[in-house]
Amino acid sequence: MEQTGKKIKTWLKEGGIYLVLALLLFVIIIKEPSFLSIRNFRNILTQSSVRLIIALGVAGLIVTQGTDLSAGRQVGLSAVISATLLQNITNTNKVFKSLGNIPIPLVILFICLIGAIIGLMNGFIVAQLNVTPFIATLGTMIVIYGINSLYFDYVGAQPIAGFDPRYSNFAQGSFNILGFQLPYLILYALIAVIIVWIIWNKTTFGKNIFAIGGNPEAAKVSGVNVKKNLIAIYAMSGIFYAFAGLLEAGRVGSATNNLGNMYELDAIAACVVGGVSFSGGVGSVPGVVTGVIIFTVINYGLTYIGVNPYWQYIIKGIIIIMAVALDTMKYTKKK
């Protein structure tokens, strides 16, 4: 009997959060059976795509026992800059009329460069100045939002829209596979997943990330340049946020300085739900994908059945607390 109790307790620690999420999904389906449809499935995958790219950036930091509270604001900054650079030349409200239609690849490179610079700044503060990631990224979150708001005011302080059709198609378009319209966003997310999986599993850099997360001192003794690798992982995360911001502005069809607000919390929650441990050194790309899809299903489902947005915040907050608490319990047991 005691052995059975221990097994149940262990199972609850390992899979309790999935049970709660399954119950939430069950309630959603019971209330609205129409939730189970191809259209909703496609919408969920589309909404998951940008969030997945953001989560993949955050996940690498969590593996190293870090985090990034500035992720959402970085997405917002990239979205606003991308929106101002990729407006249609015929748009009477075009911000930079003299630039004409800029090639999308050029804007992607420019945006990713900005993301890498912000990431390098975060990494430098964490690795070289020894500021805890929570405080470091909290500070940069506020700074980035201030910069984005100043830029947004400078270009007119109104939603930036009227995009170049090529940009709209890049973010909103789809291609046909066996009669099913698959959005380009899903393809971009799949490419990001493959890139991160290769980095985590097939490169020395990836092995160093997990070594640092597992035990920074042991990694240092074994010859890993901890500071250099931390700066690199923050820079890589910044690139992911930047690209996600460009896609999000195109997906939504407009951008303001508030775009991206709270995105980092969804990304962090999805990572933890997907098994990326705040204790460091533990995580997998399939786990991140699973966590993002689960969280998007819950988000989309609660909205679908008309749950008040304020209640959605409460439910998501409880899920985050539960996920981290269960993760801590698992880590304590192993220790």
Q: What are 260's strand-pairing partners?
A: none
Distance (Å, whole) CA 168 – CA 320: 34
Distance (Å, whole) CA 169 – CA 183: 10
CB-side neighbour CA atoms (13 Å) of 147: 16
Work out the average pLDDT over 53-70.
96
Least confident span in 17-26, 27-36, 61-70: 17-26
SS (H, E, C) the chain: CHHHHHHHHHHHHHHHHHHHHHHHHHHHHHHCHHHCCHHHHHHHHHHHHHHHHHHHHHHHHHHCCCCCCCHHHHHHHHHHHHHHHCECCCCCCCCCHHHCCCCHHHHHHHHHHHHHHHHHHHHHHHHCCCCCHHHHHHHHHHHHHHHHHHHHHHCCCCCECCECHHHHHHHHCEEEECCEEEEHHHHHHHHHHHHHHHHHHHCHHHHHHHHHHHCHHHHHHCCCCHHHHHHHHHHHHHHHHHHHHHHHHHHHCCECCCCCCCHHHHHHHHHHHCCCCCCCCCCCHHHHHHHHHHHHHHHHHHHHCCCCHHHHHHHHHHHHHHHHHHHHHHHHHHC
Cβ atoms < 10 Å from Cβ of 223: 8
First-residue to last-residue Cα distance in the chain: 26
State pTM to two decimals. 0.91
| Interval 265-293: pLDDT, tens | 889 988 988 889 888 888 999 999 988 98
Per-residue pLDDT, 313: 84
The answer on pLDDT for 335 being more than 60 is no
| Interval 124-157: pLDDT, tens | 999 999 999 999 999 999 999 999 999 999 998 8
The answer on pLDDT for 1 being more than 60 is no
Distance (Å, whole) CA 11 – CA 188: 35
| Interval 223-282: pLDDT, tens | 999 999 999 999 999 999 999 999 999 999 999 999 999 899 889 988 988 889 888 888
